[in-house]
Amino acid sequence: MTLQSMTGFARSEGVSGRSRFVWELRSVNGKGLDARLRLPPGLERLEPDTRRMVGEAFSRGNIQASLTISVDETRMEAVVNRDALAAVLALREELKDIIDPSPLRLDTLISIRGLVDIREQEDGEDALLARDVAILSGLTTALANLKRMRETEGAALRAVLAAHVARIAELTHIVETDASRSPEEIARRLNLQLDQVMQDKAALDRDRLYAEVALLATKADLREEIDRLKGHVAAVGELLEKGGPIGRKLDFLAQEFNRESNTICSKSNSAAVTAAGIELKVVIDQFREQVQNLE
C-alpha cells in the first residue's frame, strides 16, 4: 500500500444545465479526520453525502471542502397569460359589430400589459436532481485528485523516513561496537569504580555495597537499549514497506527511539557513545517531525 501525506490541494469543476460549479479541497495535518465544509446556501442537503465521501477517501487530516456555484441568468422565457389572452379575444369578438377590428398583430398583443411576462427560466426538479448528481461526481474527482497529491508527497516522505531510520541503525551499530563496550573495558571500569567505592567501605554496609556494585554494572551495560533500538528499526522498516495509514504507529516508535537514546546518553562512559547518542536524538527529532505529516 502507498503512504499518504496529510497535506495537499485539489480542484475540480463541472457544468450541469445552466449551473457551473467548482470544488476546492485543502488538507493539512490533524490527529484525526476533521472535514470542514463550505456549501452554498440552498445546497445544505449535500452535506451528509459530502461528509460520507470524505470519510471514505481519508482516515486522517483536517480537510476543508469548498463548493462554489454560479448560475447562467441570461436564459429568459416568455410566458403567456392565457386567461388575459382569452379575455382580449373575447372582447374583440364582442366589439366586432361596433368597431371595425383590424387584424391582430403579435407586436400588438405583446404590448398589452400583463399579457406576456418575460422572466428567468427556472430549473425543474429533474434538472436540480441532475445537478446534485453532477456536483457529487465532481467531488469524487476532486477527492481522487487530492488522494493522488497526498500519495505523491507520501512517496517522498517514505524516502526521507527510510534515510532517517537507516542513520539510526548506523548510529546504533556505532554504539554497539564501541570499544568501551568490550567485556575487558567494562571489567576495567567496574574494577576502577569499585575501588573508589571500597575506599569509603567504612561508611558502607554490605547491602549498600551490593547496591553500588549493581548500579555500576547496570550503567555499564547498554545491551537492552541497543536491542530495543534494533527492534524499533525493524518495525519501522516493516511499516514503511507495508504502507497505508501508519502515521500514529510511527509516531509511537519515534517516542520509543527517543526514550532509548536518552538512556544511552545517560549511561555513556565514552565520548564516542555520547556523540552517537546526541546525534541519535537529532535524527530521531527529524524523523518524528516528518512522521507528523503522515496519514
Q: Where are the domains of the chain?
A: 8-73+124-151, 76-120, 153-291
pLDDT of residue 186: 59
pLDDT of residue 71: 79
Cell numbers for 1, please give them: 500500500
Predicted TM-score (pTM) of the model is 0.69
Residues of the chain with pLDDT under 50: none
pLDDT of residue 18: 81
DSSP 20: E
Q: What is the pLDDT of residues 41-96, one digit of tens each?
A: 889 999 999 999 999 999 999 999 999 998 776 665 667 778 877 887 787 777 77
Query: Do the beta carbons of residue 63 and residue 33 sit within 8 Å?
Result: yes
How far is CA 266 from each of CA 98, 165, 187, 214, rounded to the nearest angstrom? 119, 22, 19, 16
Cell numbers for 172, please give them: 546504533
Is the CATH number of domain 8-73+124-151 3.30.230?
A: yes
Query: Do the beta carbons of residue 112 and residue 88 sit within 8 Å?
Result: yes
DSSP 43: -
Cell numbers for 114, please give them: 400583463
